[in-house]
């Protein structure tokens, strides 16, 4: 008789989540740790990394370590590899965003967004994918955005960088074809994080209470959302935890949506 129980068990796996001291990254780290993985928390600030590690150890009882390096630079990735040579589950969550009028985005801003949002992920996949392939198992997951498909007029440089990230995932999935390693993207919709709260108040009346500000933001700037609210980080983490597990073995090269129906498409 086939056992159809859904049981996500990542015992014995080491996971790295970039940009994981808060928000979506922290929720993902907590989800992976809660499923038994040994999780490496990453951020640039040693103080924030140490704080996140302590909170995760308390909430999950899992083996959690911290790596305070800037993975948006080649030197930072070299330091990371020295501290964490073996990764089974790579979650490229690090990303920056901000509203800038299209005609005012400078060359340096374009370069910075590609360096942080795209090239950091490329370097880390390039670093850890060969080991995954050699072992015959691994997961590389990129956190993209609905902005990759519905390019926002107020931050096209961010949207374009996330579009590139979808292509990066698809390309590396082909590189890992037939090896037991999967590579996927998660298209996150408008999500409730501290950074997004700041962003919302850049676009709506800053004197409004948060609940009203959120509703006004969704009404004016994200009216196509079927959820009609911001997504909570744990809802993104649930999808990532599934993709990181053996249960997702037939899912690769995909761009899976956790967008609250924001993208007006029946695919993917």
CB proximity list for 55: less than 8 A, separation 6 or greater: none
Asked whether residue 141 is domain-assigned, the answer is yes
**pLDDT tens over the chain, length 268 residues:** 555 567 899 999 999 999 999 999 999 999 999 999 999 999 999 999 999 999 999 999 999 999 999 999 999 999 999 999 999 999 999 999 998 999 999 999 999 999 999 999 999 999 999 999 999 999 999 999 999 999 999 999 999 999 999 999 999 999 999 999 999 999 999 999 887 888 899 999 999 999 999 989 999 988 999 998 899 999 999 999 999 999 999 999 999 999 999 999 888 7
DSSP 182: E
Does 109 lie in the same domain as 131?
yes
My answer on whether 185 and 197 are in the same domain is no
List pLDDT tens digits, range 47-85. Answer: 999 999 999 999 999 999 999 999 999 999 999 999 999
Confidence (pTM): 0.93
CA–CA separation, 175 and 208 (whole Å): 49
Name the residue among 25, 34, 36 with its Cα closest to residue 66: 25
Q: What is the CATH number of the domain that holds 67?
A: 3.40.50.720
In a domain, 128, yes or no: yes
Rounded CA-CA distance 81/130 in Å is 13
* Count of domains for the chain: 2
Query: 124 and 224, same structural domain?
Result: no
The verdict on 205 and 102 lying in the same domain is: no
In terms of domains, do 138 and 112 share one?
yes
Which range of residues forms the domain containing residue 118?
14-190+232-258
Could you read off the pLDDT of 124-136 as tens digits, one per residue? 999 999 999 999 9
Is 1 domain-assigned? no
Chain-centroid distance, C-alpha 56: 18
| Whether residue 101 is found in the same domain as residue 196 | no
Do residues 198 and 183 share a domain?
A: no
**Residues 208, 77: one domain?**
no
149 domain-assigned: yes
Indicate if 27 and 149 belong to the same structural domain: yes
Is residue 238 assigned to a domain? yes
Residue 158 is among the residues annotated as catalytic for this protein: yes
Within-domain flag for 221:
yes
264 in any annotated domain: no
The verdict on 135 and 225 lying in the same domain is no
Catalytic residue among 158, 201, 242, 262: 158
Q: Is residue 2 part of a domain?
A: no
Residue 162: which of 200, 211, 113 has the closest Cα?
113
- Whether the Cβ atoms of residue 70 and residue 44 lie closer than 8 Å to each other: yes
One domain for residues 46 and 156: yes
Mark whether 151 and 28 lie in a shared domain: yes
């Amino acid at each position: 008789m086939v056992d159809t129980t859904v049981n996500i068990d990542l015992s014995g796996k080491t996971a790295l989540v970039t940009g994981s001291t808060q928000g979506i990254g922290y929720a993902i780290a907590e989800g992976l740790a809660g499923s038994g993985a040994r999780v490496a928390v990453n951020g640039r600030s040693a103080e924030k990394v140490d704080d996140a590690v302590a909170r995760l150890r308390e909430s999950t009882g899992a083996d959690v370590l911290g790596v305070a390096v800037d993975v948006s630079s080649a030197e930072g990735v070299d330091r990371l590899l020295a501290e964490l040579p073996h990764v089974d589950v790579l979650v490229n969550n690090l990303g920056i965003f901000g509203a800038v009028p299209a005609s005012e985005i400078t060359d340096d801003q374009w370069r910075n967004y590609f360096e942080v949002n795209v090239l950091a992920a490329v370097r880390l996949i390039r670093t850890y994918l060969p080991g995954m392939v050699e072992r015959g198992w691994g997961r590389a997951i990129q956190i993209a955005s609905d902005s990759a498909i519905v390019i926002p007029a107020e931050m096209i440089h961010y949207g374009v960088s996330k579009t590139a990230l979808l292509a990066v995932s698809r390309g590396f999935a082909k590189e890992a074809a037939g090896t037991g390693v999967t590579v996927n993207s998660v298209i996150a919709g408008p999500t409730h994080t501290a950074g997004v709260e700041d962003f919302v108040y850049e676009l709506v009346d800053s004197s409004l209470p948060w609940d009203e500000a959120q509703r006004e933001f969704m009404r004016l700037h994200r009216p196509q959302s079927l959820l009609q609210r911001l997504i909570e980080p744990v809802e993104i983490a649930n999808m990532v935890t599934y993709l990181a597990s053996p249960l997702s073995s037939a899912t690769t090269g995909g761009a899976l949506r956790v967008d609250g129906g924001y993208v007006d498409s029946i695919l993917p």
